[in-house]
Amino acid sequence: MRDKADCPSHHHLKVVEIAGYRGNTWSVEHVVHLIKKAVSLEKIVIDPRNLCFLPGRDRDVKEIDAEAKARDHAMQHLKGIVPSTIEFVCL
């Protein structure tokens, strides 16, 4: 696997949506990497919802709690590291 430092910059990526965000260490590292390498980035959308649920199926309390914790994590740990030049949205 190629070292992250060796990855070229991306000049055309303007909007990134990370679906299923759970606040793992690698998730934060991924966002930091995108901020550094996507030089034209204008917006990052963090979506903590689990998109694997079938329509009409109720989500259980554990899943709703996990989404709330992930949302809080994103607001505490990501919002502060995203530069003011990039719009930060947490759903």
User: What pLDDT sits at residue 82?
Assistant: 95
User: What pLDDT sits at residue 54?
Assistant: 57
Distances 65 to 53, 71, 81, 83 between C-alpha atoms, Å = 15, 10, 24, 28
Consecutive 10-residue runs of the chain (91 residues): their mean pLDDT? Answer: 65 92 88 92 92 67 89 93 95 92
**Domain span holding position 75:** 4-90
User: What pLDDT sits at residue 1?
Assistant: 41
Tally the domains of the chain.
1
User: What pLDDT sits at residue 53?
Assistant: 62
